[in-house]
Structure formats: C-alpha cells, structure tokens
Amino acid sequence: MLRRFTAGRSIARRLAQGQAQPARLFSTSQPRKADITLTVDGKEVTVPQGTALIQACEAAGAAVPRFCYHDRLAIAGNCRMCLVEVERSPKPVASCAMPAMPGSKVFTNTPLVHKAREGVMEFLLANHPLDCPICDQGGECDLQDQSMRYGSDRTRFHEITGKRAVENKDLGPIVKTSMNRCIQCTRCVRFANDVAGVEELGTTGRGNDLQIGMYIEKTMDSEMSGNIIDLCPVGALTSKPYAFQARPWELKKTESIDVLDAVGSNIRVDSRGVQVMRIQPKINDEINEEWINDKTRYAYDGLKYQRLTTPLVREGDRFVPASWEHAMDTIRHGLQSSGAKGDEIKAVAGHTADTESLVALKDFINRLGSENLTLDQSLGDAPPVTGVDVRSNYLFNTGIENVGEADAVLLIGTNPRHEAAIINTRFRKSYLQTGAEFGLIGEDFDSVFEYDHVGTSPSDVEAFLSGKAVKGKGKGENDFARIWKEAKKPLIVVGSAVVEGKDGAAVLKAISKHVLANEKKFVTPEWNGFSILQRAASRAAAYDAGFTPSPTSTNTTPKFVYLLNADEIDPSTIPENAFVVYQGHHGDLGAQFADVCLPGAAYTEKSSTWVNTEGRSQLGRVAVVPPGASREDWKIIRALSEIVGSPIPYDDIIQLRQRMWDISPTLVRYDVIEKPSLEFIKLGLQLLSTPPSTTKAASTTPFKKPINDFYRTDAISRASVTMAACSKAFTKKEYDIASVDEAGSAQASYA
C-alpha cells in the first residue's frame, strides 16, 4: 500500500518524544501539605489537607451539583446546592464551604441529599422565570439541567404578588442582563472583583432583595467582562452580540488558537454552516486558565465584513476582480517590469501572518535573491535589536504560568492590560494573593493593580536599574527601589514597543547588564526574570523563522513589495513607483497600497502554527472554510513561486512542516516550551549588554503606549461591529446607559 504521508507520522512520533521529556523544572511556591484520606460514597480518596469537600468528592468521581462554587473563584457558599451527607453530622453540609476531614464518611447520593437538594431547587425556582424557550442560556444552563434531576414537577408557589421582579442593568455593549433570572450565586461579583479588577460590581440588599449591579448606572468597563457570561450558571448574564443567534446544539465546536494578541489563548470556535457564531475559551492552565479577553471573544464578527473574497487587480484608481491566474500573472509581469533585483524585492509580514506562510514567504523571497524580509512595526526595516540568534532574547522567558511567582515586577514601556490581558489577570492574582509589588517605567495606564510609577523614559530605566534616584520622584514614591533590591524573584517585563523603538538597544543594554549583575536572582534553573512581552501573534514565529532583514538590505529602496497581512505599515516605507502585492484576509490599510490583492484565510479558516510570546507553538484548526475564492496563505505563496519561476520545494503541508522542523524544531513541537540552558540565556544577555558601538545613549523621550485603543488593534477587530461599539463605550467613554426595560412600566408577573 502506497502511503504519501509517512512524513506526517514521523513528525507525530517526534512530537511524542518531545513531550516525553521532563515538562518543567519550576518549583512551586506553595509548600506541600500533608494528605488526608476520607471516604466518599464508599470509595476512599486521598486529597491534600485544606481541600474543600466538594473537591474531594470530585476526586472520588462523585458529581456534586453546584451554582456558586467555581474552581477558579473564591468560595462563597451561598447557593446550598452542593449539600452532601456526612456521617455523624446532624444536617446536610454544603460541601464547598466545608473542609475535607480525615476519616469522614461522605455520601452524595442518599435520599437525604436528594431531598435537601430538591428543597434548595424549589426555592431557587420559586423566583426564576419560566422563560427557557426564549432564554439564550437554554441548552447550556446549569439550572435547567439540574432542575431536570432535582426539580419538583409541580409548584407550591402561589403568591398573589407574583415572582420577584428585578430591574435590568445596562452593563455596556457586551453583557446583556436579564436580572429576573438571577439566582444570586455572585460568581460574576467574585470574578469582577478578584480577576477582572472591576470592584464596582457588587450586591445590594439582603435575602430575597439581593441585587447584583454596579451600584450606580454605569457600564462594566473591563477587557475581561465577557467571562461573566460564561460564569453565570443561569441566563441572567448573556451575550449581547450573540443574543438569539444560535442554540448550543446547533454549533460545531472546533478547538483552536487565538491570534489577536501574542498570548495565544486557547479558544473553541463555535460555528454553524459557514459562519463563526461565537468564540469560547478552551481551558488551558498553562496559558489562559478559563478566561479570554473581550477582543478574543467578540472580534469574530469582523470575519464577516471587509473581507477580500476574490483576487483584485488595480486598474487605474480602482480594483477589478480577477481570476487567480490573471492576478498571479499580473504579479509576474509586475515583478519583471519593476526591474527589482536582489534586496529591492521586499516582504513585509504583519501581525496575523501564520508561521507556515512566514516560512514559505521567506523561502520564496530568498529564492528571488533578496534578504529584505521586514516586519510591519516601527524600525521593522532594520534587524531587530534583540537579534534572532538567541531565542531567550525576544521571548517571555518567565512563562505565563509562572508570572504569579514573581514578588516584584518592573514593567518597562508596556501596558499589560492591553498588550496581554490574560497575563494582566495573572498579575492581579499575584497582587492580591501573594502580595506582589509592581513598578512601572513608561506611560501611565488604568491598571487593575497598584504600581509605583518610577519613571517614564529610557534614561529613567538606566537610572533606576543602576540604583540612582529617578529625576522628579520624591523619596516616598521610590519605595519600589527598596522592594526591588530585596526581591527574591524579580521580574522585568519589557514591552515590545520598547524593543522596536529607537532606544531599544540602549534600554536592553541597561536591563541585561542589571540582570547579569544580579544573575543569582534573575537567571536560575527555576526562574528567569527577564521577559519581553510581544503583542503581535506572529512576531515570535517571525523571529524564530529568521524573518528579519540583513543589515545591508535595510537601506535599499524596494521596487517590489510583498505585504503579508501587513496592516500596521507606515505608508512612507512604500515607494510610490513600487509594485505592491497585498496578501491577507481583510481590505484594511495594507490593501489600499496594493497593485494586486490576494485573498487569504483568516485564523479560523486555516490550520496553522502560532508561536506565542513565551515561545510555545500551538496548532490552530479550521473551523469554517475561507469565503469566496480565498485560499490558505502558504498555498498562495507556493503557487505564486511557481508562476514566478522559482518554485519552493514543498507541495503539501506535511512537507512544509518538515521544512519548519529543519529551520527550528520548536516550530512544530506543539504545546511545549523549549527551555534553553542557563549558559545560553546568559550568552544572550551578554550579547544584549554589548550592542554595536553606534548605539546611542538612552534618551529622555518618554515611552509611548503602542496600543491606544484595545478594541481596534488589527484588521479583524477593526472590521468588527462589536469591537467598534466597545471602542466607543470603553475607550471613548461615549455610551448612553439605556433604560433596558423599555416598557418602563409594570412588568408581566406570572405566578
């Protein structure tokens, strides 16, 4: 039997070997507690001391229904649904608020337990509207499911006044409320306070009159607000953009990777037919735990608008739809007639270019004799100051999972809230739970943790790290300098904008010198406290693949420009008479300059590799097919290379991944982080600490935030209507709180 794809299996085997290696060497900060043993439903189970009883029941494989308890939130213990029977206990106990005791005998499936849960359910349903057929939670509702098991089949509720009626709240363009349905589990309150940092969301009143809200009429201004929709066990908080769009059982679920920031959040793309209906988080404790930010969750409607669906060829001042053959032929003519030779052929890779197409484009351009491979960032035409030889010089070496272990964090020229919202939630967690201290050198931002603003400019970085007082800072404010000196696990987070800026080399020099001088604290087998925070999904992969210009190509004036998803380009870098090809999925900025547009696939439409800011490569998956005549990106480049006359030597995705393996095995060793040796990390830092002699001294120009509008950072989110509404409401603060109960007068009450 002939088999074409034997190569694929060998990759699978290599990957399996890669995963067999010891996963990580980091020590945990929590001391190991003694284990205790108890019996749940006749089954012995051993759990660490201090575990909640509900966790012990789960460990024993007993399902305990719950509404208020959530694995990733603080324990509230107010829904009483998780009642279990414990031997020699006079009453059923709430298993979430009860610690597991050694030797106790727990029963989760006895008549007493059933009766108790039935009673709780009856109280919850007494004030819950019977609107499941028109409720968006229907089909994925905890209350609905559990009432099937524990609910009574007839009501004893005969109040003349009817059910409790609660006014709806307008929380902004994302969260839709229907507060009649609220069962007051307070999951949203705990999430908003502990994780998202919106301390205004809370409760008023007691008992039957308890209400969830913002206390005054205001929106819930957080980039993580969409998660409270997931957390809500009933339909009180549902999604406004998804309202009445689909039912969960109609959706095809595809587990994939998000590309709207460099965190690489794991997502589940729910699609129906040819359309993405919603995006949900996929649980991955190494990256995004159970959360995703609102841009990841709601920018999907941008995939419907402004799409390039057919090749376009510029004729005069307008684009004319063309066939693929015609478009490719036009490019061949354009390349010939432009007379571009060598480095005059330039490629620019954008924020959402996938790794496969980066590798294919690099091979293609190199075959044409050019080294002019650039990125669409400021100074993207020049070789990056971090270099690409040492991986730890441009990655988030600490690892997303481990940032919570840092006791002092120095943020340099970055706003983690907008550049990596998921990492920001980890910072808030460590701020609250382990007492981490934060310092910032750069532009102020609206933070969810308190920080000490110790400087604004590159020269302040030098001053602070060399222990000098930063100009304009009083003594009281410089507390962080003392904390920084005493820190056991310090962490420096350098924003990608700093590295891309003109002071990048000088700042990195100061930082790497400081890190090397304190290497016992910064670079140990367990801890690496020097991290660069990338903000674009394709950057780490571009550096890994060596998609960077050679020093000589920087000063060449290009005659042929190939834009791969490049929408953040500076228009002045494209010469007037150059022949420009744009390949991408949206008609955004880059397409405006193009002579030929080639329609590619967006991230939900191609199975491609993404490398996140910590250097973890992950494989996305196709959820829906690309619209119209658009094609997978690497295939476009492969076809073009053949038409231009220098075909790149791979015909299918497996051969291309072999090529990626040849370039860097990390690109196809999915889901694991390759940790370099300490010697290698230090070698990289030494390279950074000795930049070329032409490097200028650090200036006093303040750092600027690279992201001014979190909701509109790339072609997809700029095309999204939801993101436009969020930008208006949260960035520009122009949002009229609507009276959600339009009728304004009496609501229907059904007894």
The binder of another protein chosen from 117, 128, 268, 417 (CB under 8 A)? 268
Dihedral of the CA atoms 294, 300, 305, 307 (nearest 10)?
A: 120
Taking alpha carbons only, the member of 317, 371, 318 closest to residue 344 is: 371
Angle at the Cα of 410 (from 404 to 414), degrees rounded to 5? 95
Contact between 74 and another protein by CB under 8 A: the answer reads yes
Rounded to a whole number of angstroms, the minimum distance from the CB of residue 52 to another protein is: 5
For residue 517, CA distances in Å to 165, 464, 512 come to: 64, 14, 8
For tokens 């490398």, what's the residue?
611
Shorter beta-carbon distance to another protein: residue 52 or 345: 52
Specify the stretch interacting with another protein by CB under 8 A; choose among 66-74, 337-345, 675-683, 694-702. Answer: 66-74
Q: What's the sign of the alpha-carbon dihedral 310, 721, 589, 420?
A: negative
Structure tokens at 125: 């349903």
**Region from 65-73, 106-114, 503-511, 741-749 binding another protein, contact rule CB under 8 A:** 65-73
Residue 600 Cα distances to 303, 352, 584, 635, 690, angstroms: 12, 11, 5, 9, 41
Q: Which of residues 499-528 bind another protein (CB under 8 A)?
A: none
Minimum distance of another protein from residue 434's CB (angstroms): 10
CB neighbourhood size of 700 (10 A): 12
SS3 641: helix
Cα distance between residue 612 and residue 293, in whole Å: 16
Q: Hey, which residues between 285 and 324 contact another protein (CB under 8 A)?
A: 285-286, 290
Residue in 60, 62, 93, 96 binding another protein, rule: CB under 8 A:
96
Q: Which is nearer to another protein, 272 or 728 (CB)?
A: 272
| Under rule CB under 8 A, residue 724 binds another protein | no
Select from 20, 34, 63, 243 the one that contacts another protein (CB under 8 A).
63
Does 13 sit near another protein (CB under 8 A)?
Answer: no
3 binds another protein (CB under 8 A): yes
Tell me: does residue 30 bind another protein (CB under 8 A).
Answer: yes
Q: Smallest distance, Å, CB 394 to another protein?
A: 25
The reply to whether 97 sits near another protein by the rule CB under 8 A is yes
Structure tokens belonging to residue 422: 């998921």
Tell me the closest approach of the beta carbon of residue 312 to another protein, in angstroms: 20
**Residue 206 lies near another protein (rule: CB under 8 A):** no
Q: Does 199 bind another protein (CB under 8 A)?
A: yes
CB of 177 to another protein, least distance (A): 17
Task: Decide whether 203 or 524 has the Cβ nearer to another protein.
Answer: 203
Which of 6-14, 341-349, 354-362, 608-616 is the region at the interface with another protein (rule: CB under 8 A)?
6-14
Q: Which of 138, 164, 203, 683 forms a contact with another protein (CB under 8 A)?
A: 203
State how far the Cα of 143 lies from the Cα of 149, in Å rounded to an integer: 10
CB atoms within 10 A of CB 204: 10
Phi/psi-derived region of residue 298, left when phi > 0, alpha when psi is between -120 and 50, beta in every other case? alpha
Per-residue x/- track, 400-439, another protein (CB under 8 A)? -------------------------------xx--x----
Residues in 361-400 that interact with another protein by CB under 8 A: none
Does position 230 interact with another protein (CB under 8 A)? The reply is yes
The crossing angle, in degrees rounded to 10, of helices 111-126 and 142-150 is 130
Nearer to another protein, 168 or 266 (CB): 266
Total residues interacting with another protein, rule: CB under 8 A = 80
Q: How far is the CB of 130 from another protein (least distance, A)?
A: 20
What is the phi/psi pair of residue 346, to 5°?
Answer: -125, 140
199 φ/ψ sector (left φ>0, alpha ψ -120 to 50, else beta):
alpha
Q: Contact between 625 and another protein (CB under 8 A)?
A: yes
- Nearer Cβ to another protein (230/363): 230
Chain positions 107 to 146 lying near another protein, rule: CB under 8 A, are 137, 140-142, 145
Is residue 76 within 8 Å of 86, Cβ to Cβ?
no
Which stretch in 273-281, 495-503, 566-574, 577-585 sits in contact with another protein by CB under 8 A?
273-281
Q: What angle do CA 82, 290, 709 make, to 5 degrees?
A: 135
- Kindly give, in sequence order, each residue whose CB lies less than 8 Å from that of residue 174, ignoring residues fewer than 6 positions away: 220, 225, 226, 229, 239, 240, 241, 294, 298, 722, 726
Binding of residue 19 to another protein (CB under 8 A): yes
Residues numbered 648-707 forming contacts with another protein, rule: CB under 8 A: 654, 670-671
